[in-house]
Structure 1
């Protein structure tokens, strides 16, 4: 399978970078083709431009600003996201990836008669997200209701007519974790990647 691995963290030495490397290696070892999209390294601009917003309902939406990344998304059999959760949400860079790339003609088609959008990403068989949080499990899940998981699970289904398989793998309390805990998590990450 061809898998789009979307990574978002500003620090190349981050634990999220180690997670992305484990995923990439695990997928490659099992014969998958990995398209690694490092949003920071590729200097992705997460801001929806004035022209993009003004043209959002045009018959032919202008994809020129994101055409390359949109083509990579449309060519993928699956998508894996790697990012930290900051303030109980995804970073602005990852949010901008969804705002700009999951655009009309890529992620969905407008329903010209009104009503709900029509999903356009028929190619994605699965969407996995690997995240880290500084908060403990109970804060993210019980107190906050795991907003990122809900957003991704429900949101990606809005773009995919066949309801792709969804899975989220988190490491909670990462800021206070020790080397053994991090190594155990990386081993889990690789096992999940190799199971695809």
Structure 2
């Protein structure tokens, strides 16, 4: 399987980078081809431009500004996202990745009859999110309603692909995580990704 592994963290020494490295190693050890898209290292601009927004309903929609990433997404069988949750949401650079790359004609098409969107990422068979939160699990899930999981599963996955396998693995309370807890999480990442066939 060809996996597009997207990393969204500004610090090369971050735990997210360790998660991405662990993910890549586990996937490659299982024989998968991994395309690492490090949004910060590749200097991805998350800002939707005036031209991109004003042409949103044009057919075809102009994705030329992100054409190289679109090619990488369309070549993938699976998408794995590695990112921290900040303010119970995506980092801005990852939100911009969705805004600019998951565009009409790429991730979905507009239904001419009105309202609905039609999934277009039929090549993507799995979407995994490997994430961390600074908050404890009960605050994220019980108080906030797990917004990132809902956005990914019910929004992006459901609206952009059909019969997609979705999983999310989170390390909560990251700010107080011990070395042992972080190592255990990396082991969980390795174990999860080794099951991908």
TM-score (norm. length: structure 2): 0.97
Q: How does 1:69-88 map to 2 (within 5 A)?
A: 69-88=69-88
Structure 2 equivalent of residue 163 of structure 1 = 163
Q: Name 2:104's counterpart in structure 1.
A: 104
Q: Runs in 1 of length 4+ with deviation above 4 angstroms?
A: none
1:14-163 matches, cutoff 5 A? 14-155=14-155, 156-160=157-161, 162-163=162-163
Cα offset for 1:106?
0.2
Aligned residues: 195
The residue that corresponds to 2:6 in the other structure is: 6
What is the rounded CA distance, in whole Å, between the counterparts of 1:103 and 1:154 in structure 2? Answer: 17
RMSD over aligned Cα atoms: 0.7
Cα deviation 1:30-84 (Å, max 9, x = unaligned): 0000010000001100000000001111122111001110111111001000000
2-structure distance, mates of 1:106, 1:24: 25
Aligned-pair distance for 1:113? 2.2
**1:85-123 deviation line (CA, Å, top 9, x unaligned):** 000001100000000000011001111221201111100
Match of 2:175 in 1: 175
- Unpaired runs of 5+ residues, structure 1, are none
TM norm structure 1: 0.98
Deviation per CA, 1:132-161: give whole Å up to 9, x if none: 00100100000101000000001211011x
